[in-house]
Chain A
């Protein structure tokens, strides 16, 4: 079946540090890949997505590239801010799976001033 494995947290960084959160997946076919973010007390919201190999999704300074050869979709940001403190979820949506998404366990990021 489909699965998503993401880097265990929690992750604590200082402001302006570089962020990487690793995500690898297992799926049949060619899924779409997503990063969702959950700020404290809120539901999840889409951060970025990529729908085919070598696509790069980007938003709010975050980037992730769909790497088919390594089945990975790592999230990166060059300079994090305190406001980026949240839980980050990697997810996939496999074609032919009726639109269901499979999520990783989430990585909690705390950015200290």
Chain B
């Protein structure tokens, strides 16, 4: 069974940094693209970033480009999101998600982790 477990969330001041982790199990980690999607409190879903299975290709939402870095460690089956220059508007639950094996195109996510809350506040 596929399992994704995020960690690393917490309270950080504006301008600070945080690194999220997503430990994956139950599948061949390097065979699937992985993504981060966030959800501000009481709001909808916002895609943040994606990384290919090999780690060689990444894309970012404009709202985080230049501040966030997505990466993955094949040996640890772990996905990361390094978040720098954090803003109040980055406050959200951050979900990691695995590319669905059924879709013929990147961008369909199944399953998702349970999420980790990041709060940016002074």
* Chain B associates with chain A: no
Enumerate chain A interface residues (CB-CB to B < 8 A). none
